[in-house]
């Protein structure tokens, strides 16, 4: 990893933890540089939060490159071609429409040596095509594209759900304001979660790991927990009994039929099946490398008032 140029796409909820940890790891390797691609409007913004982000990036010794991911594949390839490794932290904010596939084509066309696509989520191979969440199909398209070639090495980091999403009121799993915990599918259905901070640390470890990880899916987990265990944890941490409500598969299917464009309802149904959304923690990179991560109980203790 000496004399390696790494480009990170995005500096948001996941991008910043990735950048912080890459910068720390890069200190061990001479000539290794970290660059982040940001929109011109972000770089020039007078917003206080964005200014703090820019200041932190500069303090880490990370270079800032101006560019917009809405550009054409050809224009993006021109940007990417100067980098050995590209790590995408763009998230799903762009929605569907082939964005992730466009980025992947741009990376391959640029001749980038190593690519970490935005796959920080569930096991799309196990879920397969045609799930309730149509965004997952494009993630399969990206995997098929990367597997169809041998010029660019790729690493996919499967993290499960961001831990905080379990507690997002709009998702409806844990809603402390209403004192409820909903089970997706059943109380025995499990879900794997990892915090963005841990994902950032583990992604940096994976990036710099020796021997180098090549053309592989790497799993992480802060926790793998059933909805019953989740409700028990909330009871214990909050000191009160939450109301437990089961959202069965038929019920979730019916809800999505009534509102087929609702992204949250798509996610609920996709996770309710239990397939590809939870895995044994012992098979994860962090367990094998004996790297401690934050579980759901720790997150709840630190974040729930």
Region class of 16: left (phi > 0), else alpha (psi between -120 and 50), else beta: alpha
pLDDT (tens digit per residue) in 28-87:
999 999 999 999 999 999 999 999 999 999 999 999 999 999 999 999 999 999 999 999
User: Dihedral (C-alpha) 201, 204, 209, 212: value to the nearest 10 degrees?
Assistant: 140
SS3 261: coil
Residue 114 half-sphere exposure toward CB, CA atoms < 13 A: 19
Can you say whether the dihedral through the CA atoms of 230, 274, 243, 194 is positive or negative? Answer: positive
Arithmetic mean of pLDDT over the chain: 95
Name the pLDDT band for 2 (thresholds 50, 70, 90): confident
pLDDT of residue 116: 98
Cα(127)–Cα(123) distance, integer angstroms: 6
pLDDT in tens, 174-206: 999 999 999 999 999 999 999 999 999 999 999
Can the peptide bond before residue 211 be classed as cis, meaning omega within 30 degrees of 0? yes
Q: How far apart are CA 165 and CA 70, in angstroms?
A: 27
Residue 28, Cα to own-chain centre: how many angstroms?
26
Domain boundaries, the chain: 5-160+195-221+278-289
Greatest extent of the chain over all pairs of C-alpha atoms, in Å:
57
Span 5-160+195-221+278-289 CATH architecture: 3-Layer(aba) Sandwich (3.40)
Residues 174, 233: Cα–Cα separation, whole Å: 11
120 phi and psi angles, rounded to 5 deg: -75, 80
């Amino acid at each position: 990893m000496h004399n390696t140029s790494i480009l990170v796409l995005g500096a948001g909820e996941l991008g910043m933890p990735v950048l912080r940890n890459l910068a720390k790891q890069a200190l061990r390797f001479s000539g290794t540089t970290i660059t982040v691609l940001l929109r011109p409007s972000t770089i020039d913004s007078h917003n206080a939060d964005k200014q703090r982000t820019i200041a932190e990036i500069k303090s880490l010794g990370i270079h800032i490159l101006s560019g917009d991911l809405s550009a054409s594949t050809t224009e993006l390839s021109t940007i990417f071609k100067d980098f050995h490794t590209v790590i995408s932290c763009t998230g799903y904010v762009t929605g569907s429409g082939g964005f992730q596939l466009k980025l992947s084509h741009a990376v391959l066309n640029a001749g980038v040596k190593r690519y970490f696509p935005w796959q920080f989520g569930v096991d799309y191979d196990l879920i397969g095509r045609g799930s309730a969440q149509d965004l997952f199909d494009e993630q399969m398209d990206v995997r098929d594209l990367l597997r169809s070639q041998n010029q660019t090495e790729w690493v996919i980091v499967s993290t499960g759900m961001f831990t905080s999403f379990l507690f997002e009121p709009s998702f409806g799993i844990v809603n402390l304001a209403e004192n409820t915990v909903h089970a997706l599918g059943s109380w025995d259905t499990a879900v794997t979660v990892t915090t963005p901070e841990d994902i950032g640390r583990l992604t940096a470890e994976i990036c710099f790991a020796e021997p180098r990880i090549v053309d592989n899916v790497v799993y992480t987990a802060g926790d793998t927990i059933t909805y019953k265990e989740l409700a028990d944890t909330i009871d214990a941490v909050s000191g009160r009994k939450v109301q437990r409500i089961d959202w069965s598969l038929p019920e979730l299917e019916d809800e999505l039929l009534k509102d087929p464009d609702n992204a949250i309802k798509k996610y609920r149904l996709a996770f309710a099946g239990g397939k590809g959304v939870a895995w044994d923690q012992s098979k994860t990179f962090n367990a094998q490398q004996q790297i401690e991560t934050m579980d759901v109980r720790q997150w709840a203790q630190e974040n729930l008032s």
